[in-house]
């Protein structure tokens, strides 16, 4: 499938939800069958076993692969950052993109360590989205074009994609999305992001409350996305949708990437079944959001960096799961006695 960045109207994006492939139950069955024959006590590889099955189910392969894994990092600028809702100034987004290019960020080290591809997608960094307290982040054409751009991350034969993002102010935007989707109070969804102090946290909750108040009773998830932003979240919505269409499993990183998954989930809950949640971020509300999505994260390492760092670590575990499943000998091949076999009589010379 080729996706044009020239811009799909929202209706075309909605239509994709009717065409999404489902789980490949035959592949899942083959994987469970082989798993039972591998040289280990049944169930002893724990979650590695369920990860191998999940990969095969969504890749549609009895022998899942992780040969071309990619961490896709989306970077965007946010008008709301000018309100002092972050501990860092907005120009850090640009500077960190340069740092990604020169190999100096945390995600670079993880991708090198685990031999993962890394691609950074810049989303009009010089043109921040409007301040969502005052105005919509995007118009429909721009939002749809950004979703289409994110779909491009699924190309070139990659077989696993991890989502990452960079954007000063985007934990406020993600909190606004969760507040709009799930209600409650703004304070339920905001956290300290890059480390705002108490005054910054109060400003952030007020800004999120005002932005969500501005969009009123908007309930359509794509409209919530369009009105609250940001571009990196829209692009990641595109990657999640394209991953599903193209049978490329997706690893969601932390709080901000989960906002993209939450939009897709709100459109159709099972449309994120091909997504793995890498970790529970230390950003305060992430655990509550994961509960809303009914998903248990793989890891809980106290990470709150973004950039796809948690997704990269989770990708290494998925790769371990696929490698054990693919490479291990069966009891029959290796001549290892199975559980409950009669002991062999001692050999006499
Ligand atoms: O996704 C997360 O779990 C996460 C939690 C805290 C911070 N971040 C990163 O920090 C930036 C946003 O923080 P802030 O305080 O500027 O809103 C952005 O670049 C994110 O990648 C990301
Ligand atoms: C330095 C820095 C690195 C980041 N990486 C992702 N978000 C970030 C935010 C800051 C501030």
Looking at residue 7, its pLDDT comes to 45
Say which residues have a Cβ less than 8 Å from residue 78's Cβ, sequence separation at least 6: 90, 128, 129, 167, 168, 169, 170, 172, 173, 229, 230
Looking at residue 347, its pLDDT comes to 75
Centroid of ligand 2 to alpha carbon of 166 (angstroms): 7
**Residue whose CA is at the smallest distance from ligand 2 atom 3:** 96
Q: Is position 162 within any domain?
A: yes
pLDDT of the chain along its 349 residues, tens only?
444 444 458 999 999 999 999 999 999 999 999 999 999 999 999 999 999 999 999 999 999 999 999 999 999 999 999 999 999 999 999 999 999 999 999 999 999 999 999 999 999 999 999 999 999 999 999 999 999 999 999 999 999 999 999 999 999 999 999 999 999 999 999 999 999 999 999 999 999 999 999 999 999 999 999 999 999 999 999 999 999 999 999 999 999 999 999 999 999 999 999 999 999 999 999 999 999 999 999 999 999 999 999 999 999 999 999 999 999 999 999 999 999 999 988 877 6
Q: Which of 194, 196, 255, 262 to mutate to test the pocket of ligand 1 (most atoms within 8 A of CB)?
A: 194
> Is 307 considered catalytic here?
yes
Structural domain tally of the chain?
Answer: 1
Q: Is position 31 within any domain?
A: no
Beta bridge pairs of residue 330: 38
Domain range for 141 = 47-328
- pTM, rounded to two decimals: 0.97
Looking at residue 349, its pLDDT comes to 66
Q: Is position 70 within any domain?
A: yes
Q: Is position 222 within any domain?
A: yes
Q: Is position 41 within any domain?
A: no
Looking at residue 82, its pLDDT comes to 98
What is the atom index within ligand 1 of the atom nearest the CA of 173? 17
Q: Is position 340 within any domain?
A: no
Q: Is position 234 within any domain?
A: yes
Q: Is position 345 within any domain?
A: no
Looking at residue 6, its pLDDT comes to 46
What is the atom index within ligand 1 of the atom nearest the CA of 194? 15
Q: How many CB atoms lie within 10 A of CB 180?
A: 27
215 Cβ below 6 A of ligand 2: no
CATH number, domain of 174, equals 3.40.50.10210
Q: ipTM beyond 0.95?
A: yes
Centroid of ligand 1 to alpha carbon of 233 (angstroms): 12
**Structure tokens that stand for 19 in this block:** 């065409």
């Amino acid at each position: 499938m080729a996706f044009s960045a020239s811009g799909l109207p929202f209706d075309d994006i909605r239509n994709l939800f009717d065409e999404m492939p489902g789980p490949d139950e035959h592949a899942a069955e083959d994987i469970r069958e082989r798993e039972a024959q591998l040289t280990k006590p049944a169930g002893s590889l724990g979650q590695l076993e369920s990860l191998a099955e999940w990969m095969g189910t969504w890749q549609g392969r009895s022998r899942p692969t992780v040969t071309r894994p990619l961490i896709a990092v989306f970077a965007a600028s946010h008008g709301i950052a000018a309100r002092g809702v972050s501990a860092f100034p907005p120009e850090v987004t640009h500077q960190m993109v340069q740092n990604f290019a020169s190999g100096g960020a945390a995600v670079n080290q993880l991708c090198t360590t685990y031999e993962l591809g890394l691609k950074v997608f810049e989303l009009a960094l010089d043109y921040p989205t409007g301040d969502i307290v005052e105005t919509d982040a995007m118009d429909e054409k721009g939002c749809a074009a950004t979703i289409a751009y994110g779909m491009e991350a699924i190309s070139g034969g990659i077989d696993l994609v991890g989502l990452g993002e960079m954007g000063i102010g985007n934990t406020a935007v993600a909190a606004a999305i969760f507040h709009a989707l799930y209600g409650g109070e703004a304070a339920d969804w905001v956290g300290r992001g890059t480390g705002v102090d108490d005054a910054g946290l109060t400003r952030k909750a007020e800004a999120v409350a005002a932005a969500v108040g501005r969009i009123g009773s908007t309930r359509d998830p794509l409209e919530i996305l369009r009105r609250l932003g940001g571009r990196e979240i829209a692009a990641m919505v595109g990657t999640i949708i394209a991953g599903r269409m193209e049978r490329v499993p997706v690893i969601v990183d932390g709080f901000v990437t989960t906002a993209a998954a939450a939009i897709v989930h709100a459109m159709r809950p099972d449309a994120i079944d091909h997504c793995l949640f890498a970790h529970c971020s230390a950003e305060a509300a992430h655990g509550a959001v994961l509960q809303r999505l009914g998903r248990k994260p793989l890891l809980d390492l106290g990470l709150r960096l973004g950039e796809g760092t948690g997704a990269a670590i989770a990708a290494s575990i998925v790769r371990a799961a696929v490698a054990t499943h693919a490479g291990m000998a069966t009891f029959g091949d290796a001549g290892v006695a199975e559980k409950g076999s009669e002991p062999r009589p001692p050999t006499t010379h």
